[in-house]
Amino acid sequence: MAKSIVTGYARTWPREVFDIHKNKDLLIKRLELLRGTGVYVLYRDDRPYYVGQTTGSLFERLHDHANKTTDKWYHLWNYFSAFEVPKGHLDEVEAILIAAMPTANSANPRIRPIPLPREIRRILADQRRIHVK
């Protein structure tokens, strides 16, 4: 049986999770998922903005994005999703997410894109054409 690539996830949690300074250790303990390595998506409202990964703690990486005013993405997001991913699969999962969604990432995923065949594009264009008599 193959090991899971993603072992858990948190979907569209508010950035304010990282504003809880009182009892930060309790917060980390309760957020087991965010203690591991993984891939995350930062959202501006309901739109994916940036995809990143960390070989350290997801909590610490996201906490830095949320609280370090010098962080490149500091002002640009208000929700996040996080995926617990073993170190050996971080690049793959990050690449899939970058390829699947338009984001501000400058990296191109190292996945071979499959272009829509020319003949299919031609058929679709013909179907959309308005026929005037």
**DSSP letter (8 states) at residue 117:** P
Q: CA 112, CA 63: separation in Å to the nearest integer?
A: 33
The answer to whether the CB of 65 falls within 8 A of the CB of 120 is: no
Range of the domain at 66: 8-128
Q: Helix, strand or coil for residue 67?
A: helix
Within a domain: 108: yes
Q: CA 82, CA 18: separation in Å to the nearest integer?
A: 14
**Percent of the chain with pLDDT strictly greater than 90:** 41
Predicted local confidence at residue 22, as pLDDT: 63
Q: CA 72, CA 91: separation in Å to the nearest integer?
A: 21
Within a domain: 56: yes
Within a domain: 98: yes
The answer to whether the CB of 41 falls within 8 A of the CB of 48 is: yes
Predicted local confidence at residue 84, as pLDDT: 93
Within a domain: 3: no
Predicted local confidence at residue 130, as pLDDT: 67
Within a domain: 41: yes
**Above 90 in pLDDT, residue 117?**
no
Within a domain: 103: yes
Compute the radius of gyration of the chain from its Cα atoms: 19
Question: How would residue 23 be classed by pLDDT, with cut points 50, 70 and 90?
Answer: low
Within a domain: 70: yes
User: What residues contact 28, with CB distance under 8 A and at least 6 apart?
Assistant: 34, 35, 59
Q: What is the pTM of this model?
A: 0.78
CATH, residue 69: 3.40.1440.10
Q: CA 94, CA 55: separation in Å to the nearest integer?
A: 12
Within a domain: 133: no
pLDDT tens column, 104-114 = 776 666 777 77
Q: How many structural domains comprise the chain?
A: 1
pLDDT tens column, 63-92 = 899 989 998 888 999 999 999 999 999 999
